[in-house]
Amino acid sequence: MDFTLSVEEREVRDWVRTFVQRELVPREQEVLRREREGKPGITGDELTELQLKAKESGFWGIQTPESHGGMGLSAVMTALLEAELGRTFVPFRFGGAADNILFHANAEQQERYLLPTISGERRSCFAITEPGAGSDARAIRTSAKKDGTDWIINGEKTFITGGNEADFVMVFAVTDPEKGADGGVTCFLVDRDMGWRSEFIDTMGEWGPAALVFEDVRVPETQILGEVGHGFDLAMQWIGRGRYILPAHAIGSCERLITMAIEHANNRETFGQKIAERQAIQWMIADSGVELEALRWLVLHAAWQVDQGMDSRHAQSIAKLYGGIKANEIVDRVLQIHGGMGYTRELPVERWYRELRLLRIYEGTDEIQRRTIARNLLKGHVKIGGSLG
């Protein structure tokens, strides 16, 4: 593996770093103020304005194929850019993207859902998690029953990212209970005006997921994404689309946090000495630096496997697990180094503390990642020191 960037790739990365520094970081205090008042950190209009500003420089659809107007960047470059965005907690994402499974839509569905989502005219959400089916996606109970040429959907989904803002949902429902997940689950494209509703879920962080409620929601057969009974395959494609992206974002957050800790340690004095001279502080800084570099290489290795067309699931689970644990340890150390001030809301450390805690739960808990890693090793799907396959 050679992660040396070309001149063009360095320019792409550096542009994003400059964009973050100039356009996003100056908004941090305002974002904190709004969030403390229970408001969104940035409004939808402000996000669109920032996305269009990035688009003027060609940053649109980072991983969207060039055939659909995107940049079509590699997984490694995507990871590097996500790390740059992680340097701030301002909730920004580049425009021009669509869920990977929407590219399985037929021609008519692409016109109604895929292309408008890429252009920013429509907003989607992915709904498989239920109150009794979180990490165990095979335990879903939401049902879709055939009624003539229509399907009637009933059930509830929970912790759905973007569910409060979306105007359509990719919802997974059981269409054949006897077949279970393999052959009995179907994905439907369901517009909000077809009858489902969303309810906001308040969390300890600023992530505002939704519960989605379906009560006798009638959808025509033309709303099926893919084929009847093959929804679980699509769900696994969505879930496995890029677990390396979450720990990649944490890389940037940890870089910023460690920099803050170093600056504070070099300025804060106790008992007539900089705390940077205290061995306890030095070891916290050293451990954080080592873990950050280990995380960086785990993420890049997983992304590199994706670019090589290899089965990267094992490497991504390792990066996701390690990233979630170590990012939380690092932000905890940084808060400790700042002492009482780190615990206050005058500094953004507590904001990152709450945000990074989600990384150990979101898109597969630590326990699920350990289960996946252990199963791969115990069943011989991977060898120690080898790659999946």
- Alpha-carbon distance values, 198 to 127, 220, 304, 328 (Å): 11, 21, 38, 31
Number of neighbouring beta carbons within 10 Å of residue 119: 15
Please say whether the beta carbons of 292 and 254 come within 8 A: yes
DSSP 363: T
Report d(CA 63, CA 233) in Å as an integer. Answer: 21
Here the tokens at position 384 are 């120690």
Q: Is 37 a catalytic residue?
A: no
Q: DSSP letters along 96-142, please?
A: S---GGGGGS-HHHIIIIIHHHHHTS--EEEE--BTTBSS-GGG---
For residue 248, give the nearest of 303, 173, 177 by alpha carbon. 303
Residues 6+ positions from 182 with CB-CB distance below 8 Å: 232
Of residues 130, 255, 355, 363, which has the active-site annotation? Answer: 363
To the nearest 10 degrees (0 to 180), the angle between helices 245-267 and 279-307 is 160
* Coil/strand/helix, residue 55: helix
Residues marked active site are found at: 363
